[in-house]
A and B are shown apart, each in its own frame.
Chain A
Amino acid sequence: MGDLANKPAVQGSFHPIDSADAAHPERLAEVRARCPVSVAARDGYPSVTMVATYEGIAEVFRNWRAFGSIGADPDPDVHDATPMELRPIIALDPPAHTWARRLNNLAMAPAAVEKALPYVASQAAALVGAFADDRQAELVGEWAEPLPGLAIARVLGLPEEDSGFIHDWVVSQFTESAAAAAGSNYGRTELPADEAFQGYLLEQIALRREDTAPEDAMTDMIRYRRDDGSSFSDLEISVHIRVLLIAGNETTTSLMSNLMYRLLSEPGLYERVAADRALVVPAIEESLRLDTPLQVIIRRANEDATVGDVLVERGSVIALSTMSGNRDETVWGEDADRYRLDRFAGDVERMHLGFGLGVHHCVGSFLARQTTALAVNALFDAIPSMSLEPGYEYENVFFHVFHRPKRLPVVFG
């Protein structure tokens, strides 16, 4: 491709790092129509090259040599200042990423996760049972928040009684006040070290270096060795566990909440899926597409590179708007903004961007899908009909990365 073919990115009005914009995914249609690759600049926010089309996003996801991972924080200085062994898996590229991924797969592969699913099913039933006779519930707080935390704790081997404390720690990372404490008006992912929580993780790791180590996934991770015989240090293991706990808590909560919001927003939809459980899987996949829980993913150009026919200069921070790609009309049709139960029915290829594409495809995707299916089936089993509380208005959580309602009050029975 000659230089003349490269068009410079134009400046757009939508800033994917600004929570106020990110709360309005319907505005992305205009961004996509005007320019697939644009530069988002705004006082107080980092400038990023925003990719809005499915095709452009897929291209960047799959070209990890040209577009490196620097974590979720759009400030590249945070990444560059982080020593290699403290970098989370979302800030690594192959070959270091490959070994870290294999380490994470010890806990998150379907064969490992399946052992925890009977427990997750029983916990889902218990959570629903606690409010099933009350005729009302707040589904985010009473259902979507507690279950994923219990599930990931069980999968890793962490004590069940610690899941509440872990969840509180995860939530504390993503509040407006946490962002302000980090000196920022947008959500930051690299926050000051939390010594108490780090101490807890190192204690759990130390337990598993003893002869009396429990046979669980964390012990497997500690015993894992790369091909050259080297193992992961306690510090490295703690970084990977932290990311699994954050992702395992917050993003599955988002998926569960988003799914229920859609099923309750169209009259009769909840009841239809409750009566035909074959619709559960297509309902989950369509939720992952339309209400992408992680709506923006960060990359950085390692070299001058192109996205489509647009030149992206070396060093540019790139914001992949997975939310926009998941609503791209050229891929999903003119009704891309609509929630449809038949979009993924009978279609086993689920190439939406809900879990990303390429080597960083969500390591927890199997657990997230299974947990959500068990959770929603537990609701259907106990409560055949349900509605949003009259007068309910959707409000998105703070933090540009996440898409989910803050609350979901429902009435039934």
Chain B
Amino acid sequence: MLQIIVDRGRCMGAGECVHVAPASFRLDETVTSTVIDPPGDDEPALLDAALSCPNSAITIVRDGVAVQASSEE
């Protein structure tokens, strides 16, 4: 079970998540990333969205554990 967490105190509205996973993220009226319910992208796209966020504002949690959206492969 995947959970998507957006840290609104970190989000600057860059919009990269909307570009990478448009069926799962939108920007709300305060230009802050918001998760679309239910999210419509697969896990690789969601992890890519987390990795693409310039402000590390997105965390993907699988079965209660944060998935490393790491660029250090």
Contact = CB atoms under 8 A, between A and B. Distances in A.
A101 B54 contact: yes
B26 to A, nearest CB: 8
Contacts of B2: none
B39 to A, nearest CB: 18
B72 A94 contact: yes
B14 A355 contact: yes
Interface residues of B, number: 22
Contacts of A4: none
B14 A98 contact: no
A259 B11 CA distance: 24
Nearest to A359: B54
A7 interface: no
A95 B14 contact: no
Interface in A100-128: 101-102, 105, 109-111
Interface residues of A, number: 23
A358 B31 CA distance: 17
Contact of A358 (B10, B16, B18, B70): B16
Max count, chain B CB within 10 A of own CB: residue among A105, A358, A359: A359
A349 B27 contact: yes
B3 interface: no
A366 interface: yes
B52 interface: yes
Interface in A335-393: 348-351, 355, 357-361, 363, 365-366
A349 B11 contact: no
A95 B18 CA distance: 23
A215 to B, nearest CB: 17
Contacts of B8: 110
Interface in B1-39: 8-16, 18-19, 27-29, 31
A111 B72 contact: no
Given A95-B72, A349-B27, A109 B10 contact: yes
A348 B9 contact: no
B10 A111 contact: yes
Nearest to B68: A227
Chain A CB count within 10 A is highest, among B13, B31, B52, B55, for B55
B15 A350 contact: yes
A358 B51 CA distance: 10
A357 B13 CA distance: 11
Interface of B: 8-16, 18-19, 27-29, 31, 52, 54-56, 70-72
Query: Closest 4 A-B residue pairs measured CB to CB?
Result: A111-B9, A94-B71, A95-B72, A361-B54
10 contacts: A62-B19, A62-B52, A95-B70, A95-B72, A102-B56, A105-B10, A110-B12, A359-B16, A365-B13, A366-B12
